[in-house]
Amino acid sequence: MITLEDVIENPEVDALIRGAQKQLDGLGYTEHSHRHISIVSKRAGRILEVLGYPERTIELAKIAGYLHDIGNCVNRTDHAHSGAILAYQILKDMGMPVEERTEIMMAIGNHDEKTGTAVSDISAALILADKSDVHRDRVTNTNLSTFDIHDKVNYAVTDADLTIDSKEKRIVLKLTIDTEISPVLDYFEIFMDRTMMSKYAAKYLDIWFELLINDTRLL
């Protein structure tokens, strides 16, 4: 069976990840490279693990998390769709069964809030993991005077923690935001669609999504 480690060691995957970040650097976007995809991979697997899913389903969620942004190597626009097709072909070449690579393609193709939604357990876990990675470490622009609103909001987040409670059936995104850098309202201005997508993804998994910012429950 193809594992996450097999995917990580695939030179074609690594080239696509590096190419994607090169393009996003040119566009002035936040980090979507090894740091981000490793966090998303781990969180997606952890969500399903805590909820008691089978080991293989957890592994597929981790793989989907690791591959979800390779479409940025083609173009930022519709990167979820191009990334899904790229991932399908790579996993096919690696020998993954069609049923498994179809699940991963489906999850990757639905992770962007502009065109996707939770359509499977793996896709729901990927959405929750991806949208929870808001942090100053993702800001690649080192010139604070040129920050746009996305840079400011991400840089203002000094701590982000995602916890899953299977007994209480809830998942909580807890953020610490430095309001001297960015007001909390700006977070909702740019992340409202992502927040609502996360809420629906949690509902798909039959759990409740909560958002805490500076110890205040906002959702």
Most distant pair of Cα atoms in the chain: their distance: 51
Helix, strand or coil for residue 120?
coil
- Span 122-148, pLDDT tens digits: 999 999 999 999 999 999 887 888 888
Helix (H, G, I), strand (E, B) or coil at 114: coil
In terms of pTM, does the model score above 0.85?
yes
Say how far apart CA 116 and CA 26 lie, in whole Å. Answer: 25
pLDDT per residue as tens digits for the range 139-196:
988 788 888 888 999 999 999 999 999 999 999 999 999 999 999 999 998 899 999 9
CA–CA separation, 216 and 203 (whole Å): 22
Domains and CATH numbers, the chain: 4-217 (1.10.3210.10)
What tokens appear for 166 in the block? 């299977």
Which DSSP symbol is given to 33? S
Lowest mean pLDDT among 18-32, 62-76, 137-151: 137-151
